[in-house]
Amino acid sequence: MKNPMLEAASLLLEKLLLISNFKLFSSGAPGEDKARSSFQDINSFHRGDVLEVPRTHLTHYGIYLGDNRVAHMMPDILLALTKDRRLTQKVVSNQRLILGVIGRVASIRVDTVDDFAYGAEILVNRLDKSLKKKALRNEEVAQRAEKMLGTTPYSLLWNNCEHFVTYCRFGTAVSPQADKFCENLKIIIRDQRSVLASALLGLAAIICLGMASYTTLPAIFIPFCLWMAG
């Protein structure tokens, strides 16, 4: 049986990650009127390569399948609203992506290299060095990606595009980006100034809204939890 407290904490972490990286979705996302690269040197890509596109705060990943095709995980709220592939196969817009993250619905889909990169520089197989893991054979990597095509639950922390490509490339799903966010959050929680700040905010809420369960309990519970975690 799932622990509701853990689920609530997980959801809060994901929303914090979404807010902290909002520029990722508002900077050069598909569907925006930005100049896009009309050419990518796809001749240098090999089937099974990990392609990555650096963004403002995060990096988007995909697996090159050959013939100008990239498999990648994309949040998309439209998948929860229609089964019409003519609509869902269109390039995911900024609004569809953000709502897909909030709704935790995505697909592992195939797009062209240009649609995957939407004008940004593409880096190849950098995870091999940063993770210091032995990659599987390129053909096996591509076949793993092809078998996973279709709709999938989405989570910024537990099931994102980086989890997808690391599973395909190395056989283990990991996300250093999500891990780094959690580590930064631990630093904030362990900072005793966070306890003081939350206590002051709770006191301000009680003063402004009065003594009620929905103000008093959080005002006590949140600083206490931060204090114990620190």
Asked if 208 is an active-site residue, the reply is no
- Catalytic residue from among 161, 182, 208, 225: 161
Q: Contact, 122 vs 40, CB < 8 A?
A: yes
State the catalytic residues: 161
